[in-house]
Every structure is written in structure tokens, then in C-alpha cells.
Amino acid sequence: MSNKTIILTGDRPTGQLHMGHYVGSLENRVKLQDSHQQFIMIADMQALTDNADNPEKVRSNVVEVALDYLAVGLDPAKTTMFIQSAITELSELTMYYLNLVTVARLQRNPTVKNEMQQKGFGADVPAGFLMYPVSQAADITSFKAKIVPVGEDQLPVIEQTNEIVRKFNSIYGEVLVEAEGLLSTTTRLAGLDGKAKMSKSLGNAIYLADDADTLKKKVMSMFTDPDHLRVEDPGKIEGNMVFAYLDVFGQDKEHIAELKAHYQRGGLGDVKVKRYLLEILDAKFAPIREKRAELAKDKGAVMTMLKEGSYKAKEVAAATLAEVRRAIGVQYF
Ligand code: TRP
């Protein structure tokens, strides 16, 4: 393995990836793959922790997520993309780590707490869900990743990972490496409807796979200023998604400032600004969706890429597991 700094990150395959993922992480991963040794995991087992009764959703989205990865420019020659369940070593590591964590600590993890609330789990939370941060600690530590690019909500999981690392190392000797979360610098992309977050469950997302027509429909339906009824009326920029997206994706900041001023004065219609935004989004995302459509014609090739990535990842995880077993002393023959 090269001596580049190791990065590990992952996604739960519960749906196709959207522009929020692009802005929040994918774009950054494409940059990172040149300077780092990057592993990206499709976390199907983690997705099953709250989808046990719907394995088909998880299974079918594995290839969809991989298509999104390739379409945005993640390159298998630089980034090792793999499937979590193919690396059985991770499950064994999780079993050893579970002994280093208390149930009370898991219940205090703010990320898990939030998600449990969102999903309506009370005391009936699946045990696998409650302990997914431990499994995620196995994901991270088995690659000795130093950097874990994630959204802010995942920082408590990394904190818990590092607690496990310290505890492991203090009991069994220095084997594991602490990791650091890397937050994306870009602002979070709001939903089409103005809600704070673009998300599949809120139904307010533009997917990387969306065709030109769908993109147009979604842009034309974006939440603007509900009080901006006639073109002549002064309009509001704040909370207006068309301008929010222009701030994220537009290059010509001067022109955007002019548009904003005009909109606020009155005399600029929503449709005109939406057309301008559509042009910008189309220029940026048409090559991605076209590449994705092309790759989708041969899903077998995509699965082969994941298979090769999984072999590579397995070798790395197996080496760490061997060290872990040696350190604990569970090696008898
Ligand atoms: N929990 C992450 C999420 O929901 C996905 C994930 C699984 C992950 N394993 C990981 C992220 C390891 C970073 C590192 O987005």
C-alpha cells in the first residue's frame, strides 16, 4: 500500500444519490482521490439495521449508488469502492469492539438518539441499529483510516470510534489508529421545497440520475417567494430556493447579485430566474447523468468493479483483524 493518508467513508444504499450528496460529499471525494488513499464503502449491512424487513431496497440500491460514484468521476484506479457485507472481517471486529462499549453509552450517542426519534423507534429499537456506531468503528479502524469525510451528524459516531480505539489500545496494546472527521466546507443544499435539507425521505431532491425533463420540472416547481405574485411585485431572496441554489452552483456572482437586486426591486419573474438556474444545473449535471445512463447499460461491469474493490478492501481488513486477534490473544492454532 502507498504511504498516502488513508480515507474511509461510506453511504447507506437506501436510495440513489442526489445533488445534496454531490455538494456535501461526492465533489470533495473526487478531489481527495488524487491526494489520498481513499476507500469508499457501500454500507449495506448498516442500511439493514433499520431495513431488515426490506432487504430488496438495500440490495437494489447497491448498484445504483455505485453508478452515482462512477458518474461523478470516482475512479476505481484511485478509489477503492466496495460493499460492506463482502468484508466479513468487519463483523468479527464489531464483536470484539462491542465488549468495549456500554449500552448506556450507545443510548447517549446524539446521532443515534436523533435517528431513533426520526424513525419512531422507542424501546423497540433493533439491537443492530443501536450498535451501528460500533460496526462503523470497525469500518473505520479496519482500514486504519486517519480521515473520515462525513456530514456533521456523523461526528458523534467518530468520537465513539475514537473512544473504542483508545480503550482497545489501552487494554490490548497499540494496534488501532484514531480517526478525524473531515467536514465538507460547502454549505448544505436545501430541498426544492425550502426545507433545510435535501433528502429522499422528504421527497424534495434532485437525483443525479434525473433526466433533463425531470430536472426541468423540479427546477420549475422550486419554492420561491409565495408573496411574489406578479412580476412587478418586489420579491424576497431569503428562503427563495432558486437564489439559494444559484449561490451554490452559479459562477457569475456579479450577475447573480444583479438578478437579486432586480428581483427585490420588482420586475423580474420567477420563471426567468428559474430558466437561468436550469441552464447552470444542466451544464453541470448533464455530463454526469449522461455518463450514468451509459454505465447503467452494463450493470454487470459495475458489479465487477465492486467485486474487485471488495477483494482489495478485504485484504486490508484481514490484516488488521489478524493484528487484533493477536493483540487480544484469540489465536489458538
Ligand atoms: N453512517 C454513515 C451515514 O449514514 C454511513 C457509513 C457507514 C460511514 N460506515 C461508514 C461513513 C464509515 C463513514 C465511515 O452516512
What are 280-311's pLDDT values in tens digits?
A: 999 999 999 999 999 999 999 999 999 999 99
Give the nearest ligand 1 atom to 43 CA.
7
Q: Give the rounded percent of residues in the chain with a pLDDT score beyond 90.
A: 91
Average pLDDT score over residue span 29-52:
97
Using pLDDT thresholds of 50, 70 and 90, give the confidence band for residue 186: low
| Gap from CA of 292 to ligand 1 centroid (Å) | 23
User: Which spans in 109-154 are helix H?
Assistant: 110-118, 127-130, 132-142
Q: Which residues line ligand 1 (CB under 6 A)?
A: 8-12, 41, 43, 46, 136, 139-140, 148, 150, 154
| Gap from CA of 10 to ligand 1 centroid (Å) | 4
pLDDT at residue 1 tops 80: no
- In this prediction, residue 219 carries a pLDDT of 97
What are 223-274's pLDDT values in tens digits?
A: 999 999 999 999 999 999 999 999 999 999 999 999 999 999 999 999 999 9
- In this prediction, residue 184 carries a pLDDT of 78
| Gap from CA of 291 to ligand 1 centroid (Å) | 26
| Gap from CA of 196 to ligand 1 centroid (Å) | 21
What are 46-79's pLDDT values in tens digits?
A: 999 999 999 999 999 999 999 999 999 999 999 9
Reduced to 3 states (helix: H, G, I; strand: E, B; else coil), residue 250 is coil
Q: 260 to each of 16, 143, 218, how far by Cα in Å? A: 33, 47, 21
Compute the Cα dihedral for 230, 232, 233, 237 and give only its sign: positive
Take atom 6 of ligand 1 and give the residue whose Cα is closest.
10
What gap in Å lies between CA 285 and CA 57, rounded to an integer? Answer: 25
